[in-house]
Amino acid sequence: MGFSMFGAQSSPIAIDFGTSSVKLLQLSLGDRPTVVAAAELPIPDAIRQDKQKRLDFFARKLPGLLRKAAFKGRRAICSVPSAQTFIQHMQITAPDGAAREEMVHAQLSSQTGCLPQSMVIRTVEVAEMIREGQTRSELICFAIPRAVVMRHVELLKRCKIQVIGAHSELLAMVRSFAQLYADGADESRTTLYVDLGWGSTKVAISHGNELVFARCIQVGGRHFDQCIADQMQLDLAEARAHRLSHDVFSSAAVETPGETVGVEAESEPALLRAGAEQAVREGNDSFDHVGLGSSADQGGGIESHDLTAEVSLGEDPASDQGHGVSELLDAITDELSMCLRYHHSVFRERSVDRMIFLGGEARQKGLCQHVAKVLRLPAHLGDPLASVAAEGSLNTPGVNLDEPQPGWAVACGLSTSPAEL
């Protein structure tokens, strides 16, 4: 059962179990959804890599946080971290029905070494194609160990919360931008979503609001922190503080004079708050925001801004400052390039039109600028909560709803996800 955006009820509590924090969100699902409650719980550095200690920490802290932020009801829909989700594209020759399901399960078993009944499996049908004279169906398969799902269910049961749904982060992430396509205007656009997280980088490509590609790249903020820690003889917390205060990516791209990275000069919804570009203004780098209100607040559209500017980058700070981040940046952009090539091999008639950056690490403007420049795509900083109003004076521990929140796409998408376990 899904939750209509036009109902009068509040959504279930959306709980996004990330690697660096847990985000909780509840929306009022009327004609104009509003935030009923929101909170973020940072995970201490010392326990981020210890699954059991994390669960114990959640069990201690979540009940008080739910009360403090005044969440309503006891039902929840949660996500499972991508690091614990097996994501695989498959090409199946069998028609719909039991035969196809058996083929999916057989491929999963051979690739994971796990029995199908030990996993929670979801599939997304992408397209049909002809390969070697056979009609094949391209599918995306998401498989989560059932034991992992049940650990989260039991955890929330200890917090007196009933879990009615569990979903992949990537499916929720794309769903959070459904509003972009509500009037059908953007259905023909192909979008690359890049969620820059602390634990990993999640990648999705959609045609309109339909997911057609999914991947998790095992490089994220913690890998940059570890690199800086090793180079500068710091602990991880100190390395992260240094990275966030110095924006070590600000000039990390290789200089290629004459190339441009920019945002198309057209009206964009408030969900896309910023162009991820390096606009050169009198020698100063900037990362300009494109409107902070909803499109409804601005008479049907955000004012057009000409943000396309020549990119002229300096020397690589990785070698200049001893941070050593260049190899990790190359790993991310190489993987993203492979994702784009795979999409093109399946959909030769469609190219990616734009890129939307999400995730907590997307606040690192230099990182976004570098990726956008290498991929040569118009890019935006996504804010899935931009067009969702807050109900009165809310207590939202750990989160400032007046600022762009690119890291809240999963929580926002879970709020309107179906009740499926």
96-108 pLDDT, tens per residue? 888 889 999 999 9
Is the residue at 190 inside a domain? no
On whether both 232 and 101 belong to a single domain, the answer is no
Mean pLDDT along residues 22-43:
92
Categorise residue 70: left if φ over 0, alpha if ψ from -120 to 50, beta otherwise.
left
| Whole-number pLDDT of residue 411 | 97
Are 348 and 258 in the same domain? yes
Looking at the domain assignment, is residue 199 inside a domain? Answer: no
Looking at 126, 144, 162, which one is the last position of a domain?
144
Domain boundaries, position 116 = 84-144
What pLDDT shows up at residue 251?
53
The 3-state DSSP class for residue 306 equals coil
Alpha-helix residue ranges (DSSP H) falling in 93-209? 98-112, 146-158, 169-175
Tokens of 9: 């009820």
* Predicted pLDDT at 313: 34
Average pLDDT, the chain: 81
Residues 238 and 362 in one domain: yes
394 domain residue, yes or no: no
In this predicted structure, what is the pLDDT of residue 29?
Answer: 78
**Tell me, what's the pLDDT at 9?**
80
**Overall average pLDDT of the 287-314 stretch:** 28
Looking at the DSSP assignment, which residues form a beta bridge with residue 129?
136
Rounded CA-CA distance 334/58 in Å is 36
CB-CB contact of 196 with 357 (8 Å): yes
pLDDT of residue 272: 60
**CA separation for the pair 381, 379 (Å, rounded):** 7
Place of tokens 């990362």: 287
Least confident of 235-249, 253-267, 396-410: 253-267
pLDDT tens per residue, range 61-88 = 999 999 999 999 999 999 988 888 999 9
**132 and 265 fall within a common domain:** no
User: What is the average pLDDT across 266-282?
Assistant: 42
CA dist 199 → 14, 15, 67, 331, 360 (Å): 20, 17, 28, 15, 10
- Token pair in block for residue 22: 């847990």
The answer to whether residues 364 and 228 belong to one domain is: yes
Cα 205 to the center of its chain, rounded Å = 11
Pairing of strands 272-275, 279-281: unpaired
- Which residue do the tokens 């049907």 mark? 300
Q: Given 144, 160, 191, which residue is the final one in a domain?
A: 144
Q: Which residues, in sequence order, are bridge partners of residue 10?
A: 28
144, 159, 177: which is the final residue of a domain? 144
Q: Poorest-confidence range of 104-108, 150-154, 265-269, 328-332?
A: 265-269
Structurally, the chain folds into a number of domains equal to 2
Residue 308 domain flag: yes
* Integer Cα distance of 275 and 380 in angstroms: 4
| Amino acid at site 197 | G
Question: How far apart are the C-alpha atoms of 192 and 177, rounded to whole Å?
Answer: 12
Q: What's the rounded Cα separation, in Å, for the pair 215 and 82?
A: 9
- Average pLDDT of span 123-136: 87
What's the helix, strand, coil split of the chain in %, to 5? Answer: 35, 30, 40
Residue 290, pLDDT > 60, answer no
What single-letter DSSP state applies at residue 50? -
pLDDT, one tens digit per residue, over 351-381 is: 999 999 999 999 898 899 999 999 999 999 9
Local confidence band at 191 (pLDDT 50, 70, 90 cut-offs): very high
The C-alpha atoms of residue 364 and residue 221 are separated, in whole angstroms, by 10
Q: 238 and 349 in one domain?
A: yes
| 393 belongs to a structural domain | no
Rounded to whole angstroms, how far apart are CA atoms 61 and 40? Answer: 11
pLDDT of residue 95: 79
pLDDT, position 185: 67
The percent of residues above 90 in pLDDT, for the chain, comes to 61
Per DSSP, 302 falls in state P
Q: Which stretch of DSSP H or E encloses residue 334? A: helix 326-346
Are 134 and 249 within one domain? Answer: no
pTM assigned to the model: 0.84
- Asked whether residue 239 falls in the same domain as residue 372, the answer is yes
Say whether both 138 and 253 belong to one domain. no
Look at 141 and 244; give whichever has higher pLDDT.
Answer: 141
CA atoms of 181 and 186, how far apart (whole Å): 5
Query: Counting beta carbons within 10 angstroms of the beta carbon of residue 172, is it exposed (0 to 12), middle (13 to 18) or buried (19 or more)?
Result: buried
Inside any domain, residue 292? yes
Angle at 402 between CA 384 and CA 186, to 5 degrees: 25
Give the C-alpha separation, 325 to 278, whole Å. Answer: 19
* Residues 227 and 325 placed together within one structural domain of the fold: yes
| Residue 281 is assigned to a structural domain of this protein | yes
Res 269: pLDDT: 52
In a domain, 348, yes or no: yes
